[in-house]
Structure 1
Amino acid sequence: MTQISQQHPNESTNFTLMVQTQVKNALDEDIGSGDLTANLIPSTQTANAKVIVREHAVICGIAWFNECFKQIDAKVTVNWLVTEGQLVQPNQTLCTIQGLARSLLTAERCALNFLQTLSSTATASRKYVDAIAGTSAQILDTRKTIPNLRLAQKYAVTIGGGHNQRLALYDGILIKENHIAAAGSIGNVMQQAFALNSGKSIQIEVENLDQLQEALDAGATSILLDNFNTELLLKAVAINSTAKPKAVLEASGGITLDNVREIAQTGVDRISIGAITKDIRAIDLSMQFTATA
């Protein structure tokens, strides 16, 4: 299980490069050959702005927000009044911005897009993490992410207190129903996975208790319990408790804020939730703008 770094961008070259690349792509998409509307503003006009949040949220994406303005105009200054990962209240001012009016207006949309999207993922993650507080389970993400924002969203999950699954297909082996069918059996597919000697994690998805036992007998040490109800999860945990070695059990499918605590209390080790990255609603932010002399 690979965890995206939570270091400040200046402390992580890979993180910085990721942010720079994603911002460049977003600005290229938005601006193209030029911001026609910004040309209506005198080139020397300066302005102040502030960003206000309209709802409770966990703030995430400060590095992306800053980078949007930096790539447009390095002379723009952004003064943050909150920190990454901070829980904020409705109508709270997040930051103030000063610079050329054209620069502020051109960078505004992309900067807010990153901030409200990543804050949404962090906020959703925090809700699930808080819901299972006091249990031994962890909240994990999946590969169900917004295209081209996977690493950013996985970072946001960690800001919300969650944990990362494999980053991509190259980062681990996850054996699902169709893989088992193609290989002929759970025993066969596990044997082939071990034979690869990839040095990566191997996890197998099972759909019932018989498959769970087959996976354990085949030497599986990480098992995904797909759409198991609470009763079946309890039985799965009991079966696993006598296995040698025991496997890490992960519940997935049909999990909501209403049932996640009950699932965590069955004794599973991990709970993976696609909704924290794919079923998000952007946090409501507003950038208020004032021209200066």
Structure 2
Amino acid sequence: MTRTREIDRIVAEALDEDAPWGDLTSETLIPRTATATAELVAREPGVLSGVEVFAAAFRLTDPRIVVERLAADGDPFDAGAVLARVQGPARGILTAERVALNLLQRMSGVATLTAGYVAAVAGTRARIVDTRKTTPGLRSLERQAVRDGGGSNHRRSLSDAVMAKDNHLAVLTADGRDLTEALRVARDRMPHTAHLEVEVDRLDQIDAVLAGGADTIMLDNFSTDDLREGVSRIAGRAVVEASGGVSLDTVGEIASTGVDVISVGALTHSARALDLGLDVVIDAGRPEPARPALQTTAEAIP
């Protein structure tokens, strides 16, 4: 799970952006003493991610607000499910609502999409992983959402591994350097704990990359026939990663070639925010009326 301190930093920045000088509407319209209860309701089915982030938005706005969590990160849910209940000062709830929902909807959308990819490769050896194609400032949250959806994380940043991609190889080639020797030099310069990954876009590059000591070889935009051939040539001497042209329609066939990892940029750069709503259901100052557990109609505060 993303660290509390990091969550608080991200959420605090979002709250400052949304209400830099306070919530003018709530402060002028809602009595200071007003309290409210609101429910987090799913408008569509999905996988939940970001419960801590959702709760942090209310806690940082007004520590008197209590968030009751009725589902946990990674839980699947149906449309109409009540996922959390929020109680406390009405002004604070209304002020934090949009930030809490924006982040939760984004994370749950990533988790839901990831779960679809994971399901599509079930029964194969392939692991679904994310990429660095994340929303600036939200990488840690989106990486958590991938994990909540059943996927795994690739490197977090440029500082975490040596990963030679096509443009790195193009620079080396332009300088007339031998690829195998360049990788061996890089290996000598690396910390002994670091990982070396190399992207190739042709089968005839594989032998040179293996000779250079790559730990992982990424087969980029290969046909399924070439992926099978690549897996056969590498023969367990390196982790085989497939990337490029991956969609829900193609990922199952890609996984069937025997690759170890499938990296999917779409998990984070193309996930749709899930439709989740926060409905005020009752004034906390009066008894709660009987109502169906999954009712989603909002009720105004009198």
Corresponding position of 1:186: 179
Q: Distance in 2 between matches of 1:262 and 1:235?
A: 14
Task: Spell out, residue by residue over 1:170-201, the C-alpha distance to the aligned partner (whole angstroms, 9 max, x if none).
Answer: 01111012211222342243123212122311
Q: Which residue of 1 aligns with 2:5?
A: 17
SS at match of 1:280: coil
5+ residue gaps, structure 2: 286-302
Q: Does 1:128 find its partner at 2:104?
A: no
Match of residue 142, structure 2, among 139, 153, 164: 153
The correspondence of residues 183-262 of structure 1 with structure 2, limited to 5 A, is 183=172, 184-198=177-191, 199-241=193-235, 246-262=237-253
- Offset of residue 102 of structure 1: 0.3
- Distance in structure 1 (CA, Å) of the matches to 2:182 and 2:140: 29
1:210-253 superposed Cα distances (whole Å, 9 cap, x missing partner): 01122112222210100001000011011111xxx711000000
- Aligned residue number for residue 276 of structure 2: 285
- Secondary structure of 1:169's counterpart equals coil
Residues 1:90 and 1:290: Cα distance change in structure 2 (over 3 Å): closer
SS where residue 170 of structure 1 aligns?
coil
In structure 2, C-alpha distance between the alignment counterparts of 1:219 and 1:285, rounded to whole Å: 48
- Between the two proteins, the alignment pairs up a number of residues equal to 278
Counterpart code for 1:234:
R
2:126–2:261 contact (8 Å) kept in structure 1 = yes
Q: Does structure 2 retain, via aligned residues, the 8 Å contact 1:180–1:189?
A: no
Is 1:54 aligned to residue 47 of structure 2? no
Query: Which residue of structure 2 aligns with residue 263 of structure 1?
Result: 254
User: 2: CA distance between counterparts of 1:82 and 1:180?
Assistant: 47
- Structure 1 residue identity aligned to 2:156: L
Does the 8 Å CA contact 2:242/2:262 hold for their aligned counterparts? Answer: yes
- Asked if structure 1 preserves the Cα contact closer than 8 Å seen for 2:127 and 2:261, the reply is yes
The equivalent residue for 2:20 is 32
Q: Report the equivalent of 1:12.
A: none
Max Rg structure: 2
Secondary structure of 1:98's counterpart equals strand
Matched to 1:192, the amino acid is V
> Any idea what the Cα deviations from partners look like across 1:2-32, whole Å, max 9, x if unmatched?
xxxx3xx7xxxxx111111111111111110
Provide the identity percentage.
42
Further displaced range: 268-277 or 31-40: 31-40
Q: Deviations over 1:57-115 (max 9, x none)?
A: 10000000011000011111111221211100011111111111101100000000111
Asked whether the 8 Å contact 2:221–2:243 carries over to 1, the reply is yes
Which residue identity does 1:202 align to in structure 2?
L
Distance in 1 (alpha carbons) for counterparts of 2:240 and 2:204: 15
1:291 CA displacement: 5.3
Check whether the contact 1:46–1:291 (CA below 8 A) recurs between aligned residues. no
For residues 169 and 32 of structure 1, the distance between their equivalents in structure 2, rounded to whole angstroms, comes to 33
Distance 2:244 2:178 in 1: 23
- Tell me how far 1:290 sits from its aligned partner: 3.9
Q: Secondary structure at the match of 1:43?
A: coil
CA distance in 2: counterparts of 1:35 and 1:291, whole angstroms: 22
Name the CA distance, whole Å, in 2 between partners of 1:182 and 1:191: 16
What SS is found at the alignment partner of 1:224?
Answer: strand
SS state at 1:171 partner: coil
- The CA distance in 2 between the partners of 1:289 and 1:256, in whole Å, is 38
| Partner of residue 75, structure 1 | 64
Instruction: Tell me, yes or no, if structure 1 residue 86 matches structure 2 residue 80.
Output: no
Contact 2:195 / 2:215 at 8 angstroms: preserved in 1? no
